[in-house]
A and B are shown apart, each in its own frame.
Chain A
């Protein structure tokens, strides 16, 4: 079982729709969760971080965390063609003795927003 799992996609949505991206993680002791956006050939850029169960909203983005289900998601409202990118879910497994704050990344979900 991979430590952080994402559907590779592509997830295709029309412009203006809501895009829903999902991620599951295996380490139940994980404390910190991040969503990054990565354009082709570029390094990741942080979109959202979430640490507590529930929803966290920032503009068009909402991150949702359910630690009991070991599940974190990202909703993008009013999707724009410029949102087309790969979205990476990252988890800090601080529950482990050897975690040392490192981030473990999922394989990423490619999002395509159709004009």
Chain B
């Protein structure tokens, strides 16, 4: 089946540094990728929608200059958390829409801890 590979699975970084999270679609082309954030015991909150070759669309309240999204190819989308702070510590998950079957597949998630 369609697989989205997400890396890294865990990352610890110092406050003020930047962290890049990658999501690759392994056996299909993902024209659209969604980025979610999940805090403990809460649901997935959509942060932004990225479309290959165009600017990402951010949800209300999400700082686009802090969460940089790049979707330069049909198989790779990246999320960069810039100038990370402890409140950015969360579980970040990407998801790709499968055009043929109209379903969605998720990456395995990245646990970000900012110290």
Which chain A residues have a beta carbon within 8 Å of chain B's beta carbons?
32, 34, 41-46, 49, 88, 90, 100-108
Contacts and interface: CB of A to CB of B under 8 A. Distances in A.
Nearest to A31: B102
Given A46-B105, A100-B32, A102-B49, A107 B95 contact: no
B19 interface: no
Contacts of A42: 108-109
Nearest to B6: A43
Is chain B's interface secondary structure helix, strand, loop, or mixed overall? strand
Interface string B2-15: 00001000000000
Contact of A49 (B46, B103, B111): B103
Contact of B44 (A41, A49, A88, A101): A88
B46 A102 contact: yes
A43 B107 contact: yes
B57 interface: yes
Contacts of A103: 34, 46, 95, 104
Contact of A32 (B36, B91, B102, B109): B102
Interface of B: 6, 32, 34, 36, 42-46, 49, 57, 91, 93, 95, 97, 102-109, 111
Contacts of A43: 6, 93, 106-109
17 contacts: A32-B102, A34-B104, A41-B91, A42-B108, A43-B107, A43-B109, A45-B106, A46-B104, A46-B105, A49-B102, A88-B43, A100-B32, A101-B32, A101-B97, A103-B46, A105-B43, A105-B46
